[in-house]
Amino acid sequence: MSWLTMARWPAIAVGIAIGLLECLTFLLLDKPIGCSSAFARTSGLIEKAIRGNSVVEKPYYRLFPPVIDWEWVFVAGIPFGAFLSALSSGNFRIEWVPSLWAAIFGTGVFRRLAAALAGGFLVGLGSRWAGGCTSGHGISGCLQLALSSWLASAAFFAGGILSAILLFSLTGG
């Protein structure tokens, strides 16, 4: 069982397992794996708690009602699974600033959080704009050979490569 305590599994083995997991969700739940709509539903739930039930009438919430659906529960399982994995290999660690960020931009927590907040905002906005994220389009949609997903995935990486290169080669020096 020493493989269970390994810090890293080969990328291709992990990919194959995720591909098999997709087959199971299609077979048993009639659903592709996805993550970003759970964030939209959560922000809808928060908005509903603050502003009242009338928010469910918003056009977007008619498409994606602020309720706890299967995908929300699926996404809630992710941090738990990652926690178990990190614990199994002893690499769980509380970290405010990733080491690569710290090496270029310094160890300041505020600067890292501000960048993550701005980046997260664009990721949340863009994922709903495109109708999915690196899971829903990148894996689930591409494996179904959907045109929307291949285009969106190409755009995710084109934008991501541009953004990271600008950040690290221009700003980071």
Partner 1 sequence: MKRTSLLLPDSAQKPAALLFGTLFGFLLQKGGVTRYETIIGQLLLLDFTVLKVMLSAVLTGMLGIQVLLQFNLVTLRPRYGSFGSSVIGGLIFGLGFGLLGYCPGTAAGAAGQGSLDALFGGVGGMLLGTAFYSEIYPRIEASVLRWGSFGDITLPELLRTSRWKVVIAVAALLAAVLSALSLAGL
Distance of alpha carbon 69 from alpha carbon 53, whole angstroms: 18
Within positions 126 to 155, which residues make up the interface with partner 1, using CB under 8 A? 126-155
Within positions 14 to 33, which residues make up the interface with partner 1, using CB under 8 A? 14-33
Residue 43: CB minimum distance to partner 1, A? 4
Cβ-contact 66, 49 below 8 angstroms = no
Task: Read off the DSSP letter of residue 139.
Answer: I
Among 74, 108, 170, 173, binds partner 1 (CB under 8 A): 74
Interface with partner 1 includes 95 (CB under 8 A)? Answer: yes
Among 49, 106, 108, 165, binds partner 1 (CB under 8 A): 165
Q: Considering CB under 8 A, how many residues would be counted as binding partner 1?
A: 124
Quickly count: other Cβ atoms within 10 Å of residue 149's Cβ: 22
Task: Read off the DSSP letter of residue 65.
Answer: -
Residue 2: CB minimum distance to partner 1, A? 13
Within positions 102 to 131, which residues make up the interface with partner 1, using CB under 8 A? 112-131
- The HSE-up count of residue 162 (CA atoms within 13 Å, CB side) is 6
Residue 65: CB minimum distance to partner 1, A? 11
Interface with partner 1 includes 48 (CB under 8 A)? Answer: no
Among 70, 106, 107, 108, binds partner 1 (CB under 8 A): 70
Cβ-contact 93, 9 below 8 angstroms = no
Angle at 29 between CA 27 and CA 35, to 5 degrees: 110
* Token duo for residue 12: 């291709």
Cβ-contact 109, 97 below 8 angstroms = yes
Interface with partner 1 includes 49 (CB under 8 A)? Answer: no
Interface with partner 1 includes 168 (CB under 8 A)? Answer: yes
Among 52, 53, 54, 81, binds partner 1 (CB under 8 A): 81
